[in-house]
Amino acid sequence: MKKKKAQTPKKKAKPAPKPKTRKATPKTKPAPKAQKPAKSIRSAPKPVEKPAKRAALLKGSSITLPPDYRPTDKEPFMNARQLEYFRRKLLAWRVELLKESEETLESLQEGGLQEPDIADRASAEMERSLELRTRDRARKLISKIDSALHRIEDGSYGYCEETGEPIGLKRLEARPIATLSVEAQERHERMERTHRSD
């Protein structure tokens, strides 16, 4: 009798893996790189001008102002037109002070006639002394005007040196060389008074 060979159980054949089917996608060309949209002058929002940028605009362009132009609160504070207005005002004031100073020098060089009367001589000397004091004040004022013109160039004109707040058009109109707002000026004067009384 033949021995039956022990049969090893046959492994079931694994079903053949199903080929992975991809969904048919239409072949597309790669998208071109996105181009930046062209800037439209009308649609682009206007950026807020910084003081230094305003001064650069003022330097680079010649701004024409109408002869009757006066700064108003309706327009942006210290825009290029207002800066140009105050620059012209300061320059005209400076020219006027220099002219007066030259006239004073001429009158002092001419020298007064020697007055025979002592009272007349004293009166002429007082007038000369007063004129020299006035010229000294004018000299200090010219240096303040130069400082204000420099502030227009660097873009800090019109803003309080202590608080950084706008000084105000009415105050600048009355005193174009102002460096402090009304509130800061009042504080400053109160401090001076208290120190004087001590």
Q: What is the pLDDT of residues 38-88, one digit of tens each?
A: 443 333 333 334 444 444 444 545 788 888 889 988 999 999 999 999 999
pLDDT at 114: 65
pLDDT at 49: 44
Rounded-to-integer distance, Cα 43 and Cα 149, Å: 35
Q: Could you give the 3-state DSSP secondary structure of residue 177? A: coil
pLDDT at 140: 94
Which of 24-28, 41-45, 179-183, 184-188 bottoms out in mean pLDDT, i.e. has the lowest? Answer: 41-45
51-57+74-111+118-197 maps to which CATH number? 1.20.120.910
**pLDDT higher than 70, residue 124:** yes
Rounded-to-integer distance, Cα 171 and Cα 152, Å: 16
Separate counts of helices (H) and strands (E) for the chain: 5, 0
pTM score: 0.62
pLDDT at 7: 56
Average of pLDDT values for 24-28?
52
pLDDT at 48: 38
Q: What are phi and psi of 156, to 5 degrees?
A: -100, 5
Of 3-12, 113-122, 162-171, the range with the highest mean pLDDT is 162-171
pLDDT at 195: 81
pLDDT at 120: 80
Letter string b/e over residues 85-105, b meaning 16 or more CB atoms within 10 A of that residue's CB: bbbeebeebbeebeeeeeebe
Question: In the chain, what are the domain boundaries?
Answer: 51-57+74-111+118-197
Classify the phi-psi angles of 72: left when phi > 0, otherwise alpha if psi is within -120 to 50, otherwise beta: beta
